[in-house]
Structure 1
Amino acid sequence: MAKEQHKRNCEMLGEDKDPASFFNQVKNGTDSKSAEALKGEANQINISTQLDMSGSGLSRSCPADPRIDLPFAGKSFVIPFSAVCPTLKTMSDVALMITALSLLFWLVNGRKEGE
């Protein structure tokens, strides 16, 4: 099977004598997407100006309490984020402490048995 595949590849690729064909351009490195062609389009990017490091993409403050109007009932209600945010902040801090302590415990006691 390998011999037959090799024979077919040689037949298919051996027939292409046109230097302007895409296959021959790729083979010779003269196509528009070759490394040499793309070097002219390359530019340097300053990563520090591209990344938002102020909160890992999340807001550091509590969102405003949204007011949702219900026109069919003639009423509205408010979701009290301001009442929930301090509790969520405390839970986040506790979760970070547990993670840090778990990592410390793993580093100190994480040896395999028999070492």
Structure 2
Amino acid sequence: MPTLLMNLRQVPDDEADEVRELLTQNAVAFFETPPSRFGISAGGIWLGDDAQREQAVQLLAQYQQQRRESARAVLDEARREGRPTTFWALLRSEPLRVVSALIVIATLIGLCLLPYFLLRD
């Protein structure tokens, strides 16, 4: 019976490519399901052979540990150099995106509170 190894929802393309390459290098048989047209399913990487499940899970755990350590190293280096990503840095670099997101958030909060103000005595 096929086993879902990795759901591809919110997985960067480079990470998915690296996982595919890792499985191919270690001769682990896998197949993929594509994302659905309407975004209900994001697709996934599946194992067809239960005999290789433990090996694949172990390989994926090692890969994710390595990726986590490298991401933390990059963040620590940015902090040492004084360039961490903060709200204010993001506001300076992408003001239109941040302001539009804040407007959407405020609109949603307003819509959620609208019944309260309309129905109170």
TM over 0.5: no
Compare relative contact order (CA 8 Å, sep 6+) and give the higher one, 1 or 2. Answer: 2
Q: TM-score range by the shorter chain?
A: under 0.3
Larger radius of gyration: 1
TM-score, length-scaled by structure 2: 0.26
> Which protein has the bigger helix share?
2
